Amino acid sequence: MPALEIITIILFAVFAVYDYGKSHSGTRTTKEGPVIESTAELTCFLMSSVFQDVHVMIFIGFGFLMTFLKRYGFSSVGINLLLAAFGLQWGLLTQGIWHLDDGKIKVSIFKIINADFSTATVLISFGAVLGKTSPVQLLIMTILEITIFSINEHLVATVLEANDVGASMIIHAYGAYFGLAVARVLYRPGLRNGHENDGSVYHSDLFAMIGTVFLWMFWPSFNSAIADPGFTQLTAVINTYLSLAACVLSAYAISSLVEHKGKLDMVHIQNATLAGGVAVGTCADMNIGPFGAMLIGLVAGIISTLGFKYLTPILASNLGIQDTCGVHNLHGMPGILGGLAGIVAVALGKKEGGNAAMQAAALASSLGFALVGGAITGLIMKLPFWGQPPDQNCFDDSIYWEVPEEEEENEESLAHGDHSKNKAEV
Amino acid sequence: MPALEIITIILFAVFAVYDYGKSHSGTRTTKEGPVIESTAELTCFLMSSVFQDVHVMIFIGFGFLMTFLKRYGFSSVGINLLLAAFGLQWGLLTQGIWHLDDGKIKVSIFKIINADFSTATVLISFGAVLGKTSPVQLLIMTILEITIFSINEHLVATVLEANDVGASMIIHAYGAYFGLAVARVLYRPGLRNGHENDGSVYHSDLFAMIGTVFLWMFWPSFNSAIADPGFTQLTAVINTYLSLAACVLSAYAISSLVEHKGKLDMVHIQNATLAGGVAVGTCADMNIGPFGAMLIGLVAGIISTLGFKYLTPILASNLGIQDTCGVHNLHGMPGILGGLAGIVAVALGKKEGGNAAMQAAALASSLGFALVGGAITGLIMKLPFWGQPPDQNCFDDSIYWEVPEEEEENEESLAHGDHSKNKAEV
Amino acid sequence: MPALEIITIILFAVFAVYDYGKSHSGTRTTKEGPVIESTAELTCFLMSSVFQDVHVMIFIGFGFLMTFLKRYGFSSVGINLLLAAFGLQWGLLTQGIWHLDDGKIKVSIFKIINADFSTATVLISFGAVLGKTSPVQLLIMTILEITIFSINEHLVATVLEANDVGASMIIHAYGAYFGLAVARVLYRPGLRNGHENDGSVYHSDLFAMIGTVFLWMFWPSFNSAIADPGFTQLTAVINTYLSLAACVLSAYAISSLVEHKGKLDMVHIQNATLAGGVAVGTCADMNIGPFGAMLIGLVAGIISTLGFKYLTPILASNLGIQDTCGVHNLHGMPGILGGLAGIVAVALGKKEGGNAAMQAAALASSLGFALVGGAITGLIMKLPFWGQPPDQNCFDDSIYWEVPEEEEENEESLAHGDHSKNKAEV
């Protein structure tokens, strides 16, 4: 890990500069109250607020969403922080090399939003293998997944010129199928009958709802972050807002239909209520109308909930894909739905200058890179020297973390004087 | 629920369009970096950031504030999400029909802020009946309460032309007395002596503090969201900031004065510290001075804390009003205080063009619609086919949710192979 | 407490007015949709969004960061709210008297950001004495620490004209050494061998991670809040973003190097991952390059983690400084590192108009005021009539709060009818 960070910093030393190198030296030194002077400055300032919203989704949203496991909360939120913090540096580099200017990567507010975006792919894949991989394995996945992401992203955005403003295809579908391919390669027959720690307790489900609700709330910012500012951006906000709202209703309805005695299942509520944000991503800035956005959200909520109930068990038992968080249902199928909706919307002329064939090519490319890239990455991760945990230690923080003793045992440990927090170790 | 969402989507298909229909087709396709071109676009962009703050209050704030109950956290945050997600769609429709343009509801950033606002009334009323009503009952309440809200809102804002920028009257007082009227109609003699689940545990109180603090922090955005932009909006931010700060001090002081041995009560801290935000709402954009704002906050903290300590038990035992979250103390009395403060401030000329009589009429109207509307809604909710829970199942998630087993029982359940999360069900 | 708030309100009545007294009376009354008209209005609006981010750090960030203690969560988040709510009022006054205009303090969005900043010093010091001081003692500390802060801040910013945009010196180093001086004066020999409640449980560590992640995410807003708007502000955002990302990697690396069997320690992750935000503060708006920012973050993560592991126990056992949250490692040493980095950066010409000697004087002044001010404050807090808790009641909420009974005891308490929430007390 130290070597990795040192290499990264050296790469930054060589390649990275601020975007506004020249104008920076001319900073105003007047002290008569700050003033926004140019449109470019204003736009950057405005984007800072969007950036902070996206940042919340990456670190609180993804981090806490995965805390539902009863004994894996430290790893969920802690390794999420580690992977995202490394991934954003790596993403700045790998995305930056496609847009070198005088041989330099010019770091701007748009670049750091895109860097955050690139980490989202890794955090989605992390959900598929949650509890079954070591931090070192996951850092390897981060390096490879973001590198491949930036190739696919360049292909989709610059070569194919496809639309994917909210990244249904290039982040959600890509991240999900990449993770599922990794999970397939790392298949563990020993977990076929479940694992005692692969479940939640009451308060761990409430922690997970923090992640769910923050993702849900800020998704309009995510889907509109890189839209053309102004009315196009507002379209993305409104479409996402409405798609998510409709999705909540369908997720609740289907959850209570398929569950025993009409009860709701927390897994569905924590995840499927977000599928509308994923699925409306590609079309978010298109003129699909409030009605179109809601329809997409409604369908996304239905297929996501049904996927959790019926498809995930089949994938695990028949295809050997053990998908801890059910990312196939939250990001995979809704991501494909988003890609398909984008093809239809463009074909119907909802986006000026769009081309349905290019949209289809973008979806195919994203899935192709995900499956091939994920399989290769999985094979590398499977090499026996990355500290992969044995089956019995899966879903358990105590293999990687100092975990506080239970209440009852605590006094005993104090008598022995070991590692309580900040205590004077005399 | 599915039928409800489908009807809603059809209504959107018929009535809803984006606000900027014409200019939208002229979206810039240049790719040389995004630029904000017009003042109208800029204002919309700026409002997006305020919208996200309000959104956080609705979904995290209200949702987690109600998680204090030891066994009702799933319902608190989960049903809050359901009601708010449906309510915002319904609010867009019912508020929109008062402002049709060519027979269409034009969805803009202001409309979605107002839609979020309309859901707040329902979430306040939800607090009064928390733990004692079924999701279906609550969806009925959502439909009726938001419909009546939009009538009263139209009357207050457009007919009376009263000032209520932070909605002390039309949201807080209205939502509270609506909920109390419903609670009165649904009175349960069986809960007269309390209920074993009607209380908190240590960590449920901490979850509730997440809600409290997010509400507290973003209240300046809430009270300024629909103020005239610029200095008037900043007045609303500053007044709310100072009122809330003063309110915290008085809530703590009174809590420790009235409690046993000078201890603090978490119920007071979770709720009464917010009363200053409610009470300063109507006057928030008026020229009441920092001193005026703090005085309102100080008084609000006092009456709210005293209400929790002395009035809530009397309402329950003498008037048959069982107010689970004490919304009378957080939203009811402070809302009336806000309305009265608004009358005084307008009479003192603190708001150009204000009319004290119209302010008084607005307060009376809000209370009248709340009490009559709430009573009628309560009677409809009392019909015996909405699945209202029996007394013994009140305040218990397990009637509506699959709840994870306790730690000890868990191994046994695994042996029987039932519903642990995402496990391959072979 | 009531007296304190009443005095404060009277001071506001005498001194505080809105910043825009004259233009306020000319508020537009048109209702044809809101419009931002002037650059000054626009800048204020933009700052509101930054203000809300800083507000989140103060109330959620600091509040939840300290909830790691198993039985002190109510006090951590609750007293944090109390101190910050009072502190921001006091900070407005004490900072305001240095900038009187016609004998008045003109409250603007910049003033309330600075008021929030001034509370941060107290919340840092609170971390050093967490669990060992009464609310009254802490309110006294708040009054004195903010008063002294505003003297030092005036000296550093206006007299020395030193750069400290992200406040490594005047907030972090000052707050930390002030708190350590207080802790030294309040030394408790009885806690030399630890205390059974001075430790975490599993879920209390997860609550603390809420604080950590919110601080981590919004630090770019904190460090850029008072930077010159435009590109300089963006430099502060980008430098902070990169410093924090690098810091996470070094904190994780060092934590696993120094801990038993390569495990990670939650204390390090909760705290040392933030040191990069502290350390880059002074240089945040300087032209240090992405590489420079990351180097500062890398070093900060290393010294902070090593400090937690090796230095904190030595300070406690040899110097009698019992630093509950380890603020020396998160704010003290990284704050000094930030000050030193600032001297070097200014000497290298990274900030136009900067003066390295003035930077050094600013660091010395901040440390001097902290140590002397903290020692005097500690002596006042040590007076025997402020309700300081005895050793055995340290780190225990139940001395100041009504704490809910444990599950098992709860039914018994209900049989006796005492204080369950909102229950009708017939």
Per-residue pLDDT tens for C265-301?
999 999 999 999 999 999 999 999 999 999 999 999 9
**Could you give the angle at the alpha carbon of C391 between the alpha carbons of C388 and C392, nearest 5°?**
120
- The lowest-confidence range among A66-80, B78-92, C21-35 is C21-35
The mean pLDDT value for C7-13 works out to: 92
| Residue given tokens 């240089």 in the structure block | C283
Q: Which CB contacts under 8 angstroms, 24+ apart, belong to B411-420?
A: B411/A196, B414/A194, B414/A196, B414/A199, B417/A193, B417/A194, B419/A265, B420/A194, B420/A198, B420/A199
Averaged pLDDT score across all residues of chain A: 90
Which of A9, A109, A410 lies at the smallest CB-CB distance from C294? A9
pLDDT band at A54 (very low <50, low <70, confident <90, very high): very high
Give me the percent of chain C exceeding a pLDDT of 90.
Answer: 81
Which of B23, B404, B424 lies at the smallest CB-CB distance from A316? B424
Q: What is the pLDDT of residue C37?
A: 58
Residues 6 or more apart in contact with residue B261 via CB below 8 angstroms: none
User: What is the DSSP secondary-structure string of C220-261?
Assistant: HHHHHTTSPTTHHHHHHHHHHHHHHHHHHHHHHHHHHHHSGG
Residue of C nearest to A76 (CA): C206
Q: What is the pLDDT of residue B209?
A: 97
pLDDT in tens, A388-409: 999 999 999 999 999 997 654 4
Averaged pLDDT score across all residues of chain C: 90
C-chain residues near A86 (CB < 8 A) = 245, 248-249
Count CB-CB contacts under 10 A for residue C390.
9
Nearest residue to B109 (alpha-carbon basis) of C362, A234, A51: A234
C-chain residues near B244 (CB < 8 A) = 85
Chains that touch B (3 or more CB pairs under 8 A): A, C
Quote the tokens at residue C343: 């001297």
Residues 6 or more apart in contact with residue C134 via CB below 8 angstroms: C386, C387, C388, C389, C400
| Residue given tokens 């994917």 in the structure block | A164
pLDDT in tens, C328-361: 999 999 999 999 999 999 999 999 989 999 999 9
The mean pLDDT value for C403-417 works out to: 53
| Residue given tokens 């989605």 in the structure block | A124
Give me the percent of chain A exceeding a pLDDT of 70.
Answer: 90
Give me the percent of chain A exceeding a pLDDT of 90.
Answer: 81
Q: What is the pLDDT of residue B294?
A: 97
Q: Are C145 and C376 in contact (CB under 8 A)?
A: no
Q: What is the pLDDT along chain B (426 residues), one digit of tens a residue?
A: 678 888 999 999 999 998 864 444 344 433 334 455 567 777 777 888 999 999 999 999 999 999 999 999 999 999 999 999 999 999 999 999 998 988 999 999 999 999 999 999 999 999 999 999 999 999 999 999 999 999 999 999 999 999 999 999 999 999 999 999 999 999 999 999 999 999 999 999 999 999 999 999 999 999 999 998 888 999 999 999 999 999 999 999 999 999 888 999 999 999 999 999 999 999 999 999 999 999 999 999 999 999 999 999 999 999 999 999 999 999 999 999 999 999 999 999 999 989 999 999 999 999 999 999 999 999 999 999 999 999 999 999 999 999 997 654 444 444 443 444 443 333
Pairing relation of β-strands A16-18 and A105-107? parallel
Pairing relation of β-strands C16-18 and C401-402? unpaired
Q: What is the pLDDT of residue A135?
A: 96
Whether A422 and C235 lie within 8 Å, measured CB to CB: no
C-chain residues near B194 (CB < 8 A) = 414, 417, 420, 423-424
Max Cα separation, chain C?
Answer: 74
Q: Residue C303 burial by CB count (10 A; 0-12/13-18/19+): exposed, middle or buried?
A: buried
Q: What is the pLDDT of residue A101?
A: 87
Whether C29 and B352 lie within 8 Å, measured CB to CB: yes
pLDDT in tens, A198-228: 999 999 999 999 999 999 999 999 999 999 8
Which of C52, C74, C85 lies at the smallest CB-CB distance from B205? C74
The mean pLDDT value for C363-375 works out to: 98
What is the four-CA torsion angle of C321, C324, C328, C332, rounded to 10 degrees? -110
Residues 6 or more apart in contact with residue B31 via CB below 8 angstroms: none
Alpha-carbon distance C60 to nearest alpha carbon in chain B (angstroms): 7
H or E stretch covering B362? helix B356-382
pLDDT band at C259 (very low <50, low <70, confident <90, very high): confident
Q: What is the pLDDT of residue B35?
A: 52
Whether B352 and C27 lie within 8 Å, measured CB to CB: yes
Handedness of CA A42, A47, A48, A53 (dihedral sign): positive
> Cα(A53)–Cα(A32) distance, rounded to whole angstroms?
31
Whether C401 and B249 lie within 8 Å, measured CB to CB: no
| Residue given tokens 């300087």 in the structure block | C286
pLDDT band at A44 (very low <50, low <70, confident <90, very high): confident
